[in-house]
Structure 1
Amino acid sequence: MKQNIKKLSYFLLSTFVLLLFYLTYITFQQGEELATHPQNRRMAAKEAAIIRGTIYDRQGVSLAETKWQGQAGQRVYQTVEHVFPSAHVVGYVSERYGSSGLEAAYSKELLGLTEADAVENLLDKILNRTPRGNDLILTLDASLQSRALALLGNRRGAVVALDPRTGAVLAMVSSPAFNSNTVKDPEIWEQLNKAEANAPLLNRATQGAYPPGSVIKLLTGAGILANHVDQPEKTIDCPGYVIIDGNKITDNQVHHQVNFTKALALSCNTYFAQEGVKLGWHNLLDTFEKFGLNQNPDLEIPVRAGTFAVAERRNKSQLAETSFGQGDTLLSPLHMALACSAIANQGTIMKPYLVKEIRKPEGQVVRLTESSPWLSATTPEIAGLITQGMVDAVDWGTGSGASLKGIKVAGKTGTAETKNTQDPTSAPHAWFVGFAPADNPQVVVAVIVEKGGSGSKVAAPIARDVMAAALSGK
């Protein structure tokens, strides 16, 4: 009997020690994360007594602010024609449904609950003042956001515009957008979640998974040149198709003799399929990794990393298709914008960011985001050769729809076939990536229109107007 009691005592003591260790881990390792989690009800109650900081665009336009009415604060978002163009980036705050976007990522800062705010919070208690959180100043341009969303119209898709010199995201729009002001309404919330086909809550710019089509040729080309698979001036004959491993891959047309830059300008699948197979899986995937396609740039909002064919599917036919943007490859518009920025910035991808500054309500800067390199994707020489092909694409190739009067534009179109077994006649996705001015890049743009058709006819004109607006500052 005594022996059993002794064993029970040891068991209870061990359980107590384990529980103590677990509670210590929760408190010190996960305490802060759990305390500020969007679904934490205690956090919502605490927030009700704080004036949440304002979120501004790069020009000082208020995108989200708390308007205090009596004893309660109401979060108000800037809408244009009943939608919030920055909804997927800024997000929302709801007592019932939590928060998303930057509202969630920067909740502590917006509520003034960081360690740096401790003294001020103590003074607020002593002086019986209503606490106020810090403000965010974003890199986004509200007018550019509205313009990009308007250009997409009622079509599903996304636009990403960034400064290749700094990594600052100038625009990030996903269509359809939604109104963050109405998320708190249970009926609206249910509608947003039930709209599976349109998926309005999905940020297509960062989480969309699309076959890249011919825009991937920029990266395949970088791999070809880096690994000396072919010389830029060498020509091959394009009869309008290529046979790889017994499979006939049809091109968009007969291109006859093409070299590297002409193949890029005319988007010749035959050239990139042949040279991509010579490049091999190892070198192609290594190139994609150097451009960050399979990585998360830590943008502080959810980002889907790119995916490629699994090992057992990496045959020659799949390699050929992957080389010109078909096959099993799925990428987000953000990743293609970043990859294009490497070409614009002489081979270096700057780390993308959305928050330029965090400021106290009185205007004192708490944190300033400094630009920093993220990846060294390729060399300036290779970036220069690819740029020439992109300039030719806009001047006389497939990307002429993106040309701007008086400004040299570099661009690449893509028309990505969709694998829809239920609807084999489904239209392809329309892509365009490019930058301007080509000789002094200030803005990179990536556009996708889901099932939009031709990249040259649909996506290129959208990119043209977004680049024009970004360069003019309007």
Structure 2
Amino acid sequence: MERGLQRELRREIEEETLRTGTHSVYGDRKPAPRKPGKAEKKKEQQEERRRAKKKKKANRQYVFVTYFFVLLFVGMIGYFSYFNVVQGREIINDSRNPRMDLYENQVLRGSILDKDGNVLAESVENEDGTQTRTYPYEELFAHVVGYSDKGKTGLESSQNFQLQTSNVSFRTKLLNEFRGRKSAGNNITTTLDTDLQQAAYDALGNNRGAVVAIEPSTGKILAMVSKPSYNPNTIVEDWESLNANTEGILVNRATQGQYAPGSTFKVVTTLAYMRQNANYQDYTYRCTGEITAGKNEIHCFGNDVHGTVDLADSLAYSCNTSFSNIGLSLDIDEFRNTAEDLLFDSELPCPLVYNESKFNLQDDDGDAAIAMTAFGQGKLQVSPYHMALITSAIANNGILMQPYLVDQITSAEGETVEKYVPESYKELMTSEEAAQLTEYMQGVVEYGTARSLNSLGVSIAGKTGTSEYSDDKEKTHSWFIGFSNVDNPDLALAVVIENSDSTGDVATDVAGDVFEAFYAE
């Protein structure tokens, strides 16, 4: 009985131990773990998810910070690479860059040469370490070559990077350092033809104006003259008087001059009419010498009466009333598109500083503005350089080649640093359109307003122009655009003469002298 009571007591103690989790008096044996309930499981799962979410959020922040610094580093590398590789030349060419003085202290500025190697600009090192820049041809190349004192202009500006970069051998640089001499900068060989430049300069005489000559098949700029000119050798001494001068001597009229194109723009209007009228060859108009457009009476030059004319005759005789009639028939948006195709209101491919040409005809402009624009007046503004580009494209089957002035860059030791290869810039018109315009422009020379060029012994396609620039109709600019050797064009020209004697003959005569000099070489 006593043993039975002991067993009963022992069982009760063990049950109490299991229920309360206390140790048994009979040893340290742990009770079996209690299984968690559903509520506890849910709570543990929620806690686990919370910890995972917190960890994921922390990881996201670390990733964001990592990517931010990686992108910042890559961006800085990209910026410095772009700055040095892409913008390096632009920065060093900027006359406001104070580090230019450092380059000038280290490098003897390179020379600028014409296409045959004649020196157009060179520097001589003085005993005190300074250098003197000289221009052997004085006024002849003033605007296109420019000057390097009082800032920089022309090629002196656009090629500043190369002129102040020395690519002589390491040995030569080392010897120059040892001797206390400057290493010579790179030399620039241009496309400029000194004989042709001289012919254009002489042909302009005492007139204010500009001449631009381009080789259509390559884009080489062979001559670029602007008058009045100045002597870059004395730019420092003459600086105040040059700036006080009201004739704009320092302005390169070839690229920066803005003029109404006069009747040379009729080539553009002709192209617009051809594009909008498939039957353009059937065009006829009876010229009575005047036409009414809005409230304006428009007359042919010299009050000429041309009678019945077709499109070819209209261009050959430069009939203002016929082109007014053509302009009034055009869709203005399409007219503008044609002008923009020919780079009006657009950037121009130009190696020098230039001004954009403006079409300036709006949809709400009246009939008078439309008619005047059609024959080259109105609010049109264009540079001689731009008209030379259009002429060059017509001569080259509608393709404008990238115009350029720098043929090659060489080190002072004669090693080639860069060599320019001609390349196409843009198709301004189709070859069929160019061929038709060429035929019409030949008529201008054969029986139209530029008949005086027939005596040169070479085929020429051209267009004369006279543009008014004030209320006084006697004050005009004289224009000529054209190209020679029509079957295989050699030379495209644009000529403008300011304040001429109310005819296009002055510019035509200048063009004739330039063409003649070109074929006399």
Task: Tell whether the structures are fold-level matches, with TM greater than 0.5.
Answer: yes
User: Does residue 466 of the first structure (1) align with residue 521 of the second (2)?
Assistant: no
User: Does residue 250 of the first structure (1) align with residue 299 of the second (2)?
Assistant: yes
> What do the CA deviations read for 1:175-197 (whole angstroms, capped 9, x no partner)?
01111111122xx101111112x
Partner in structure 1 of residue 152 of structure 2: 99
Letter in 2 for 1:413: T
Conserved in 2, the CA contact under 8 Å of 1:418 and 1:426?
no
User: Does residue 130 of the first structure (1) align with residue 195 of the second (2)?
Assistant: no
User: Does residue 59 of the first structure (1) align with residue 116 of the second (2)?
Assistant: yes
> What do the CA deviations read for 1:363-406 (whole angstroms, capped 9, x no partner)?
22211111111221112222222212211211221012333432
- TM (normalized to structure 1)? 0.87
Deviation (angstroms), 1:298: 3.4
**2: CA distance between counterparts of 1:402 and 1:52?**
44
What are the within-5 Å matches in structure 2 for residues 282-297 of structure 1? 282-297=333-348
Conserved in 2, the CA contact under 8 Å of 1:64 and 1:75?
yes
Partner in structure 2 of residue 347 of structure 1: 398
User: Does residue 436 of the first structure (1) align with residue 493 of the second (2)?
Assistant: no
What are the within-5 Å matches in structure 2 for residues 411-426 of structure 1? 411-419=462-470, 424=472, 426=474
Conserved in 2, the CA contact under 8 Å of 1:124 and 1:131?
no
* RMSD (CA atoms): 2.6
User: Does residue 90 of the first structure (1) align with residue 145 of the second (2)?
Assistant: yes
Deviation (angstroms), 1:450: 0.4
Deviation (angstroms), 1:26: 9.3
**1: CA distance between counterparts of 2:107 and 2:420?**
26
Residue 451 of structure 1 aligns to a residue in which SS? strand
Letter in 2 for 1:415: T
**1: CA distance between counterparts of 2:163 and 2:125?**
15
Deviation (angstroms), 1:449: 0.4
Partner in structure 2 of residue 237 of structure 1: 286
User: Does residue 46 of the first structure (1) align with residue 98 of the second (2)?
Assistant: no
Letter in 1 for 2:490: Q
**1: CA distance between counterparts of 2:426 and 2:520?**
29
Among candidates 70, 76, 80, match of residue 134 of structure 2? 76
Conserved in 1, the CA contact under 8 Å of 2:384 and 2:495?
yes
> What do the CA deviations read for 1:316-345 (whole angstroms, capped 9, x no partner)?
221111111000001000000111112111
User: Does residue 37 of the first structure (1) align with residue 94 of the second (2)?
Assistant: yes
**2: CA distance between counterparts of 1:255 and 1:354?**
43
Mean alpha-carbon deviation: is it higher for 123-132 or for 356-365? Answer: 123-132
Deviation (angstroms), 1:29: 3.7
**2: CA distance between counterparts of 1:48 and 1:126?**
12
- TM (normalized to structure 2)? 0.79
Partner in structure 2 of residue 403 of structure 1: 454
Deviation (angstroms), 1:34: 4.0
What are the within-5 Å matches in structure 2 for residues 49-448 of structure 1? 49-70=106-127, 71-79=129-137, 83-94=138-149, 97-112=150-165, 123=174, 130-185=182-237, 188-196=238-246, 198-228=247-277, 230-252=279-301, 253-309=304-360, 311=362, 314-419=365-470, 424=472, 426-448=474-496
> What do the CA deviations read for 1:330-363 (whole angstroms, capped 9, x no partner)?
1000000111112111111111111111111122
Conserved in 2, the CA contact under 8 Å of 1:216 and 1:324?
yes
* Pairs aligned (count): 441
Conserved in 1, the CA contact under 8 Å of 2:339 and 2:359?
no
Conserved in 2, the CA contact under 8 Å of 1:66 and 1:75?
yes
C-alpha change, 1:235 and 1:124, in structure 2 (3 Å) is: farther
Deviation (angstroms), 1:425: 5.5
Conserved in 1, the CA contact under 8 Å of 2:474 and 2:502?
no
C-alpha change, 1:455 and 1:26, in structure 2 (3 Å) is: farther
Letter in 1 for 2:351: E
Residue 373 of structure 2 aligns to a residue in which SS? helix
C-alpha change, 1:46 and 1:379, in structure 2 (3 Å) is: closer
Conserved in 2, the CA contact under 8 Å of 1:53 and 1:65?
yes
**1: CA distance between counterparts of 2:253 and 2:445?**
26
Letter in 2 for 1:102: L
Residue 397 of structure 2 aligns to a residue in which SS? coil
C-alpha change, 1:404 and 1:351, in structure 2 (3 Å) is: farther
> What do the CA deviations read for 1:238-296 (whole angstroms, capped 9, x no partner)?
11112223432112211111011111110011221111221222111111111123333
**1: CA distance between counterparts of 2:324 and 2:467?**
15
Conserved in 1, the CA contact under 8 Å of 2:193 and 2:222?
yes
Residue 249 of structure 2 aligns to a residue in which SS? coil
Letter in 2 for 1:418: Y
Deviation (angstroms), 1:87: 1.0
**2: CA distance between counterparts of 1:222 and 1:118?**
54
C-alpha change, 1:194 and 1:286, in structure 2 (3 Å) is: same
C-alpha change, 1:232 and 1:453, in structure 2 (3 Å) is: farther
Deviation (angstroms), 1:25: 7.0
Partner in structure 2 of residue 7 of structure 1: none
Deviation (angstroms), 1:234: 2.7
C-alpha change, 1:229 and 1:281, in structure 2 (3 Å) is: farther
**2: CA distance between counterparts of 1:177 and 1:65?**
20
Letter in 2 for 1:353: Y
**1: CA distance between counterparts of 2:406 and 2:182?**
26
Letter in 2 for 1:67: V
Deviation (angstroms), 1:105: 1.1
Residue 274 of structure 1 aligns to a residue in which SS? helix
Conserved in 2, the CA contact under 8 Å of 1:78 and 1:84?
no
Residue 201 of structure 1 aligns to a residue in which SS? coil
Deviation (angstroms), 1:131: 1.1
Percent of aligned positions with the same letter in both sequences? Answer: 36
C-alpha change, 1:391 and 1:52, in structure 2 (3 Å) is: same
Residue 450 of structure 1 aligns to a residue in which SS? strand
Residue 224 of structure 1 aligns to a residue in which SS? helix
**2: CA distance between counterparts of 1:335 and 1:50?**
36
Conserved in 2, the CA contact under 8 Å of 1:49 and 1:72?
no
Deviation (angstroms), 1:37: 2.0
**1: CA distance between counterparts of 2:362 and 2:169?**
52
Letter in 2 for 1:354: L
